[in-house]
Amino acid sequence: MTEEATLTGDPVRDPWETPMRLALAEAGHAALSGDVPVGAVVLDPDGVPLSFGHNERELTGDPTAHAEVLAIRRAAEHLGGWRLSGCTLVVTLEPCTMCAGAITQSRLDRVIYGARDEKAGAAGSLWDVVRDRRLNHRPEVVQGVLEPECAKLLTDFFRTR
């Protein structure tokens, strides 16, 4: 195993570990401004990062400034359109109902998340908005990628509050 594989995980075993590490790094930016440390990255169909986002609610005073929404907006701007077909959202925390709505509306193909959110999760925990059969678009969901690291970041943040 190469040193790079040791640092980033085995891409054959879990292809989502490397992008989740990018999302974790992005989450660290949120904590610097007093925001809940959640980070997100949107990948193009080839797995290349298109955009990044981290929570900015405290920083901007915008209640919709969740990591997922910001990353989705930036990806759409980068691509020049709202349809993100073929793209993947990687996020450190299970999306809430607002973010789940943005995910389905933007036509993302898949959502990869780390920590479950038992209090507000809308991708399998409390609700399952993204896979609701009544909707015309239902992305694939992969949960639990680097879950211990994602959960620890949140636990450490809230422990200091």
96 is in an annotated binding site: yes
CA distance 161 to 158: 5
Is residue 149 part of the annotated active site? The answer reads no
87 is in an annotated binding site: no
DSSP state of 47: S
Render 71-135 in DSSP notation, one character per residue: HHHHHHHHHTSS--TT-EEEEEE---HHHHHHHHHHT-SEEEEEE--TTT-TBTTS-BGGG-TTS
Q: What are phi and psi of 39, to 5 degrees?
A: -130, 155
Contact predicate 91/67, CB 8 Å? yes
CA distance 93 to 114: 6
CA distance 132 to 21: 29
Catalytic site residue from 68, 94, 147, 149: 68
Known binding positions for Zn(2+): 66, 96, 99
Known binding positions: 66, 96, 99
Q: Which residues participate in catalysis according to the annotation?
A: 68
